[in-house]
Structure 1
Amino acid sequence: MKRTKDCFKGFAAITFLALAILLTPQTSLAHCDTLDGPVVVEAREALAKGDVYPLLKWIKAEEEKEISEAFIKTMAVRKLNPEAQKLADMYFFETLVRIHRAGEGAPYTGIKATATGETIVAKADQALEKGSIDGLAKAIATHTEKGIRERFNHALETRKHSQESVLAGREYVKAYVTFTHYVEGVAQVVGGKGHGAEAASPAAHKH
């Protein structure tokens, strides 16, 4: 009987935490501050093509001048030699990600090698690429499905028009960030280490 109550309490706690995450903006769960994240990936392409325009959607209008100037400086320095190019590129990545994070209201703690919660974020990216959320929706709790589908559909729709203008691009980025932060937060709660550790503890199974 006690074991049943303990299991119920554990389930209730997870449900409560999941709902709390669904109702709270997930600004701290971004993966845009990583070398394999969408901001840096697109920044690499922009530097290779010498075109800053595609990057403007990741920042606010008032930050365009700073990013454009940083881009010009980076393009000039990276022509010197391979080592200079590497340093210049990292300088630009740091600048772009820092400003993007500030626009999200999130702290900037440097660029990381890989994303936290990489698997779930990768699934979110794949869902947008494939145009289907089914695989991701099945991996999380049933009661979160409605919220996930709403954010996915909005991101997918805005993505179709993201290259039409900077304004449309920013609308997509906003929807993209909301979508990916949402699913990442849910996944971290549903598969939380804390609950797993409790379940594995002998004390949790006493009768």
Structure 2
Amino acid sequence: MNGKKVTGKMAAVVMACVLALMVPQMAFAHCDALDGPVINEARLALEQGEVTPVLKWVSAEHEDEVRSAFAHTLRVRGLGEEARALADRYFFETLVRVHRAGEGAPYTGIKPAGVIPGPIARADQALEDGSVDALADHVSAHVGNAMRERFAHALELREKADESVDAGRDYVEAYVQYVHFVEGIVAVLKGEHAH
């Protein structure tokens, strides 16, 4: 495969992060969803009785807290179904809280299954499939369309900007939205935005 094509596709995937920052309904971490990757791995770890696979989700400084919560959870799980459900929830919440703290993000509770936005679910699926091509094409088209819309709106208002102060302000608002969108993409590509 052409190296430029791969680089372009990866850049498009990175641009998806910009969309997550700019679109409020997408701006949440899917690691705190019941069907997200952290909790899915936590379920498997509990079933296998082995904490090691989930330790990658936390920083070394929080490893002992997760190991302790895991050990407590395993002990309580044997006390019946109700105790098992409660213990599992305790472990999920501990793991996600510690994971979020490592990202510098607040813990806001466990989200229900089914709330992961489509693009984020597709990003996870691309990893499962071993190919990012379909996702990169989708994101590239979406980012391109969003940029074109902002550009067209700013260009249209620019032509009328000197007709009145209000028209000028409308143009400036559209200009700022357009330029900030582009700046956000550039910042993500340069690695200036945190997770």
After TM superposition, the score normalised by the length of structure 1 is: 0.55
Q: Which has the higher contact order (CA 8 A, sep 6+)?
A: 1
Structure 1 segments of 4 or more deviating over 6 A?
Answer: none
Question: What are the superposed Cα offsets for residues 127-167 of structure 1, whole Å, 9 maximum, x if unpaired?
Answer: 1112211111221235969xxxxxxxxxxxxxxxxxxxxxx
Residues 1:135 and 1:94: Cα distance change in structure 2 (over 3 Å): same
Residues 1:19 and 1:52: Cα distance change in structure 2 (over 3 Å): closer
After TM superposition, the score normalised by the length of structure 2 is: 0.59
Residues 1:75 and 1:141: Cα distance change in structure 2 (over 3 Å): same
Question: What are the superposed Cα offsets for residues 64-85 of structure 1, whole Å, 9 maximum, x if unpaired?
Answer: 1111111110000010100000
Give the equivalent residue in structure 2 for 1:42: 41
Map of 1:85-164 to 2, 5 A cutoff?
A: 85-114=84-113, 116-142=115-141
Residues 1:20 and 1:119: Cα distance change in structure 2 (over 3 Å): closer
Give the equivalent residue in structure 1 for 2:161: none
**Contact 2:69 2:91 survives alignment (8 Å):** yes
Q: Distance in 2 between matches of 1:20 and 1:132?
A: 18
Give the equivalent residue in structure 1 for 2:18: 21
Amino acid at match of 2:100: R
Residue 36 of structure 1, CA deviation: 0.1
Residue 41 of structure 1, CA deviation: 0.4
Give the equivalent residue in structure 2 for 1:77: 76
- Percentage identity across aligned positions? 55
Give RMSD over aligned pairs: 3.2
Higher deviation after alignment, 37-46 or 110-119: 110-119
Amino acid at match of 1:111: I
Higher-Rg structure is 2
**Count of matched residue pairs:** 130
